């Protein structure tokens, strides 16, 4: 991902036609595991000497950009409906065993989560850096936009019978926000980003379609499909 620069929307056709790839891993509800990646795909080389100045050039700037662009997207979206988006109260990078508790539950290592009680997003920084190194910077956008999607759900009082529905909508929201940001030129998709996104989603899929489980997040295919649906059709389709 890069900031500024020409928009290269190769993601659209690729994401529209997916439903492949099956790896494994998990993500829990509450402060449990979120889009974790256990696969070990090679990071595809980002062939962009471009994407110059501010943002998207370092891990820190990608993290900050994902957060600010993601929240900005939702603020505008809420305003378009005459509503007010409540910004996150905090955005916390934590060390593996020193994360903030949420509703009495300790933060887990190798995870990112949204905490409704404190209205904050927190993530294990070392884990996120590893994902970035291993799977590319698209993973940062995916994880953070997914968690911001949970923050949006908290504000829209969305109610779900199944956890998997909540998680797939958060994936759809992440795709919708990212798709809009890319087509608006706020972010440019770089060579390899689409593969990164697909691999990330696949690697965070549930190992089986145990949709009834309280920690279900959807299979690799379901997660990719939810994300692609949002990416191609916007958050209103979620
Ligand atoms: Zn989630």
In the structure, ligand 1 is a single-atom ion and the residues with CB under 5 Å from it are: 34, 167, 170
Q: What pLDDT score was predicted for residue 229?
A: 95
**Domain that residue 153 falls in:** 2-35+55-237
Split into its structural domains, the chain has a count of 1
Q: How far is the CA of 29 from the centre of ligand 1 (A)?
A: 6
Q: How far is the CA of 115 from the centre of ligand 1 (A)?
A: 11
pLDDT tens, 200-234? 888 888 888 888 888 889 999 999 999 999 999 99
- 142 belongs to a structural domain: yes
- 204 belongs to a structural domain: yes
pLDDT tens, 172-205? 999 999 999 999 999 988 888 888 888 888 888 8
Residue 39 has pLDDT above 60, yes or no: no
Q: How far is the CA of 35 from the centre of ligand 1 (A)?
A: 7
Residue 36 has pLDDT above 70, yes or no: no
- 176 belongs to a structural domain: yes
- 50 belongs to a structural domain: no
Q: What percent of the chain has pLDDT above 90? A: 59
Q: How far is the CA of 53 from the centre of ligand 1 (A)?
A: 32
- 43 belongs to a structural domain: no
- 40 belongs to a structural domain: no
- 166 belongs to a structural domain: yes
Q: How far is the CA of 49 from the centre of ligand 1 (A)?
A: 33
Q: What is the DSSP string of 167-224?
A: HHHHHHHHHHHHHHHHHTTSEEPPTTHHHHHHHHHHHTSBSS--TTSTT---BHHHHH
Residue 28 has pLDDT above 80, yes or no: no
> Is 188 in contact with 6 (CB distance < 8 Å)?
yes
Q: How far is the CA of 98 from the centre of ligand 1 (A)?
A: 20
């Amino acid at each position: 991902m890069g900031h500024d620069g020409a928009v290269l929307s190769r993601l659209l056709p690729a994401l529209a036609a997916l439903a492949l790839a099956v790896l494994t891993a998990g993500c829990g509800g509450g402060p449990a595991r979120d889009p974790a990646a256990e696969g070990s795909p090679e990071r595809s080389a980002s062939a962009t000497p471009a994407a110059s100045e501010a943002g998207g050039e370092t891990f820190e700037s990608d993290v900050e950009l994902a957060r600010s662009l993601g929240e900005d997207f939702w603020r505008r979206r809420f305003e378009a409906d005459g509503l007010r988006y409540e910004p996150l109260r905090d955005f916390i990078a934590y060390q593996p065993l020193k994360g903030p508790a949420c509703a009495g539950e300790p933060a887990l290592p190798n995870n990112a989560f949204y905490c409704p009680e404190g209205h904050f997003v927190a993530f294990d920084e070392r884990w996120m850096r590893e994902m970035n190194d291993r799977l590319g910077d698209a993973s940062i956008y995916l994880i953070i936009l997914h968690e911001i999607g949970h923050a949006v759900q908290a504000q829209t009082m969305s109610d779900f019978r199944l956890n998997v529905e909540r998680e797939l909508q958060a994936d759809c929201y992440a795709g919708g926000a990212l798709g809009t940001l890319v087509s608006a030129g706020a972010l440019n998709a770089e060579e390899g980003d689409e593969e990164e996104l697909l691999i990330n989603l696949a690697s965070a899929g549930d190992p089986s379609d145990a949709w009834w489980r309280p920690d279900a997040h959807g299979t690799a295919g379901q997660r990719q499909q939810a994300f692609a649906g949002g990416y191609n059709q916007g958050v209103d389709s979620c």
